Structures are given as structure tokens and as C-alpha cells.
């Protein structure tokens, strides 16, 4: 598969991946604001000029991370029998797992979103990136629309069809509520100094769907 992709494009994909991994390692429990481009470049052994060629703003790394994260969840659910509330729990469980690996990334995303007027558009992945991150599933991953609201909407509609949620509930209101939970429950757990992020998500979801 790799041979069909020009070496130059493959190197670009690997460079972006190296920068993302370096950023995640440096964040740890810190805020994204505390991680400087110079540090990321030094760790990834890549120049600042190259960094800004791929990510015009440092915050674009966060959007890139979110793009991959949502795509990962969509692929997992596509290959899983989980649907409705079970699928939502899977999403929340993955946030919990990521919080243990990279504690500062979710708070950094929340902080970033407070500074923009709308949820940022997810970047397109190149053919090389699809091969790099999703070998064997390139076409499937490339066909997915990485939008949280679409993911939430599908889960809610499945839950309604399965009788887990009242059929007359307002889907748009529930999608908005899930966005509130996705970011807000994590922040609440952080404020209460709790590491049980999944428990906090489940508590808030129970209140939304009761």
C-alpha cells in the first residue's frame, strides 16, 4: 500500500504524526498553553518552519488530534454491535481512557473552544495519512464525516428506536445536551479532583435521559 503513495506525501504524513505525538507527550498534565512550539519541534526533531507549514497555528494540532479521535470512535462503532446508549457509553469510556494517558489534552480542547465562536471544521486527511493511521481501513476511514454532532444524533436516534429514550424527545435538544456533557462532565470531574471521568459522564447522561 505504501508504495502507491509518493514518498514526499508519506514523509509529510509521518512528520505531522511525529509533531502530534511530541505534543501529546509534552502536554502530560500541563495546559496546551504551557507547551511551546520550540519544545514540540525539538522533541520531534523537526524545524519550526516545517511545523508552521503543516500547522499554521499551534492550536491546529488540537483540531488534528480531535479529527483523529472522532474518526477512531466512528470506526470502532462501525465494527461493533454497540448502538444507542451503549455506543455513547463507549465514547465516554474512551474519553476516560485518554484522560489517563494524556490528562491535559481534554482540558486544552475545552480551553481552545472557549476562544473560538464555533466548533472548528475538521481537516481532511490525505491518502498518506489514511494509510498511516488506518491501514486496511483507508477507504472506510476516508468516507466518514468526523462530526461529534452527527455521532451523537445517530446514537440518540438508535436509542429512540430501541426504546431506550422516549420517542417524542427532541433530538436537537439531546444533541446539544450531549455536547454539554462531553465537555462539561470532564471539567466537572477535574474541578472535583476526581479521576472517575466515566462515572461523571454516566451521572450526567442519566440526568439527561431520565
10-38: per-residue pLDDT in tens? Answer: 999 999 999 999 999 998 877 888 999 99
Q: Are 51 and 19 in contact (CB under 8 A)?
A: yes
Whether residue 117 has pLDDT greater than 90: no
pLDDT interval class at 75 (50, 70, 90): very high
What pLDDT is attached to residue 2? 47
Set of cell numbers at residue 180? 454539554
Residue 36's Cβ-side half-sphere holds a number of Cα atoms within 13 Å equal to 3
Q: How far apart are CA 183 and CA 77, in angstroms?
A: 20
Please, what are the domains in the chain?
2-209 (1.10.357.10)
Q: Are 150 and 70 in contact (CB under 8 A)?
A: no
Region 100-125 average pLDDT: 86
Whether residue 126 has pLDDT greater than 50: yes
pLDDT interval class at 3 (50, 70, 90): low
Q: How far apart are CA 63 and CA 33, in angstroms?
A: 15
Torsion over CA: 29, 33, 34, 39 (sign): positive
Write the DSSP symbol of residue 33.
G
pLDDT interval class at 100 (50, 70, 90): confident
Lowest mean pLDDT among 73-87, 107-121, 156-170: 107-121
Which residue, among 155, 162, 131, has the nearest Cα to 205 in the 3D structure? 155
pLDDT tens digits, 49-58: 999 999 999 9
Q: What is the model's pTM?
A: 0.92
Amino acid at each position: 500500500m505504501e508504495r502507491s503513495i509518493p514518498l514526499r506525501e508519506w514523509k509529510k504524513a509521518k512528520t505531522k504524526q511525529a509533531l502530534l505525538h511530541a505534543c501529546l507527550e509534552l502536554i502530560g498534565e500541563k495546559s496546551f498553553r504551557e507547551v511551546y512550539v520550540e519544545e514540540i519541534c525539538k522533541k520531534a526533531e523537526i524545524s519550526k518552519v516545517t511545523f508552521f507549514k503543516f500547522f499554521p497555528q499551534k492550536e491546529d494540532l488540537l483540531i488534528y488530534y480531535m479529527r483523529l479521535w472522532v474518526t477512531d470512535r466512528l470506526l470502532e462503532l462501525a465494527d461493533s454491535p454497540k448502538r444507542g446508549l451503549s455506543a455513547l457509553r463507549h465514547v465516554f469510556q474512551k474519553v476516560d481512557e485518554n484522560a489517563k494517558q494524556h490528562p491535559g489534552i481534554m482540558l486544552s480542547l475545552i480551553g481552545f473552544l472557549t476562544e473560538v465562536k464555533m466548533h472548528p471544521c475538521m481537516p481532511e486527511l490525505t491518502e498518506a495519512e489514511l494509510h498511516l493511521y488506518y491501514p486496511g481501513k483507508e477507504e472506510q476511514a476516508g468516507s466518514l464525516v468526523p462530526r461529534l454532532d452527527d455521532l451523537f444524533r445517530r446514537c440518540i436516534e438508535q436509542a429512540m428506536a430501541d426504546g431506550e429514550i422516549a420517542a417524542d424527545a427532541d433530538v436537537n435538544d439531546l444533541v446539544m445536551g450531549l455536547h454539554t456533557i462531553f465537555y462539561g462532565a470532564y471539567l466537572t470531574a477535574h474541578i472535583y479532583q476526581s479521576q472517575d471521568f466515566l462515572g461523571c459522564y454516566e451521572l450526567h447522561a442519566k440526568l439527561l435521559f431520565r
